[in-house]
Structure 1
Amino acid sequence: MTDHARQLDAHYDAPAERDGQSLTARLRVAFREAGCDPDRLTLDEVAGIDQLHLGGRRASRSLAALGRLAPGSRVLDAGCGTGGASRLLAAEFGAQVTGLDITAAFVEVAGWLSRATGLADRTSFLCADAAHTPLADGTFDAVWCQHALMNMPDIAAVLAEWRRLLVPGGTLLLHEVVAGDAPSPLRLPVPWARRVETSHLRSRHALEALLAEGGFAPLVVQDVTESALAWRRKHRRREGDGTPPGPALPGPALIFGEAFATMGRNLCDNLAADRVRILEGVWRKA
């Protein structure tokens, strides 16, 4: 395991380092306590732990529509986390999806949740670095990435790998956090980093320049910060009232630990202060 992978493991599976219980084990217990069978789950029941990005499923649907994903498309979900976008693309858009993540705990959970929701035949998951995969050239029609580039220090190597994996004319679909224009430093911790050394935010200009240098031509790019901030504020109010409707289904606090509430507040403040912005876009392999 590389130092980079160890840092991400420590961030995204922090409770496991403290109590030794795997993420899968913690989540299975939580589903049972919520009255669910952990081996037979619905996509609604797992939504709280499988869309670990701003906007949740709505943002994933928006990106898929923007990218005009066709049924049968072969998609690489890079930085797939617990596999929520992979399952959504398979269930709602008819895609065949390979999820890839460097965090082993996420890959294990992703496979379990796909089996539990009946989507194992249309999704598969691989633990690997996005910059170095064992996959063959020209395997995918599209590469999908939501809120993961800010965890990837060598973006040039990542883009070269994605270009290799795409068919000629293949597309890259991104929903990403970028640095804003505010001169004040990022307020930490945030959902992707606890320390400044593990956050690899780039400005929109820098990201677009890297994409161009990497052989990707923009088709449509839009700033969706305002809608992302509205979504985050809505969820902040819901998290703060202490009385969620219905059973207490597992949520992201089981993944990030006690720091999650602070991460959510800081993310909201960073968005409002223009320390970070959110981009949604589609690029084509040139």
Structure 2
Amino acid sequence: MIDDRNIACASPDARALMAHYDALAATSGETLMARVQAALRLAGHDPARLSCDTVAGIDQLHLGGRAASRSLARLGEVQPGTRLLDVGCGTGGASRLLASEFGCEVTGVDITAAFIELARWLSEATGLAEQTRFLCADAADTPLSAASVEAVWCQHALMNMPDPARVMEEWRRLLRPGGRLLLHEVVAGDNPALLVLPVPWARTAATSHLRRRDQLEAELAKAGFMPVVVRDVTESALAWRKKHSRRESDAVSPAAPLPGPALIFGDDFALMGRNLRDNLAAGKVRILEGVWRTG
């Protein structure tokens, strides 16, 4: 059996990402899973029996939430039975959505061990363990067989990856001939000013690897991915982020709210959200949604 926690911790990049995404484990003394289970109990839910609606706040760690995932799945014409790899799966929300709503068989991969532990438990608790599995691994070096998936899904993950060429080479290895890449990604905007930090994917520049749209498209073309449809969805992403920033800043909240991103990012999350909103509004970052196909 693969010791996936050792795979995830092998490189300095992996350690830097884990320090960002699992920072509260060091300061609170509790694992992410323990914090989420405690929050669910406090909100009146049985952690062993959950719905996807109940856990949406903790498992949709990307702009647009579930609506953005559904939009990408429709754009990519995802069909029941599709064997799909979810790269940078986080806590597994998109994987479960693709399994429950689109009938896919999904393998999720993430380099953060705490996310994979939580993803596995949430799939068990929501009754989706048979349609989803999760591996803690580097996206550029997965323990999966060649030509084993029909689609690769990547939502807000490339901006944490310092070597996209290696990652895209791995995608080509894993995809069957004619396979599809479904991508929803943060890219650098036309405004060259420095990002206001922290943002959800980075507290410092060390874990932020944004590329311009033209750079990303050139890298994909070099790796053998041909565009089917690519569109800029920045305005809708900004509207979504503005709405959620207002909600996060609201002083009146339920006594025991359902788990949300603050359980991962801590008290910094509201600031991260506002900074992301401001970076979007200033043209420092943009959001792409697209589908590519292999030759």
Please report the TM-score for the alignment, with normalisation by the length of structure 2.
Answer: 0.96
Cα deviation, 1:83-138, whole Å, max 9, x if unaligned, reads 00000000000000000000000000000000000000100000000000110000
Three-state SS of the structure 1 residue aligned to 2:85 is strand
* Whole-Å separation in 1 of the counterparts to 2:254 and 2:264: 21
Is 1:170 paired with 2:179? Answer: yes
Deviation at residue 197 of structure 1 after TM alignment: 1.7
Deviation at residue 244 of structure 1 after TM alignment: 4.1
* Whole-Å separation in 1 of the counterparts to 2:251 and 2:51: 24
Of residues 64, 87, 99, the one that matches 1:78 is 87
2:267 paired residue number: 258
2:236 paired residue number: 227
Matches within 5 A, 1:56-75: 56-75=65-84
* Whole-Å separation in 2 of the counterparts to 1:219 and 1:183: 29
Matches within 5 A, 1:99-248: 99-244=108-253, 248=257
Deviation at residue 246 of structure 1 after TM alignment: 8.7
Cα deviation, 1:155-178, whole Å, max 9, x if unaligned, reads 000000000000000000000000
1:88 paired residue number: 97
Deviation at residue 258 of structure 1 after TM alignment: 1.3
One-letter amino acid of the counterpart of residue 27, structure 1: V
Gaps of 5+ in 2: 1-8
Deviation at residue 19 of structure 1 after TM alignment: 2.1
Three-state SS of the structure 2 residue aligned to 1:44 is coil
Segments of 4+ in structure 1 off by > 6 A? Answer: none
Q: Is the contact between residue 154 and residue 184 of structure 2 (CA under 8 Å) also seen in structure 1?
A: yes
* Whole-Å separation in 1 of the counterparts to 2:184 and 2:192: 23
One-letter amino acid of the counterpart of residue 14, structure 1: A
Gaps of 5+ in 1: none
Three-state SS of the structure 1 residue aligned to 2:54 is helix
* Whole-Å separation in 2 of the counterparts to 1:96 and 1:63: 17
Aligned length: 286
Three-state SS of the structure 2 residue aligned to 1:49 is helix
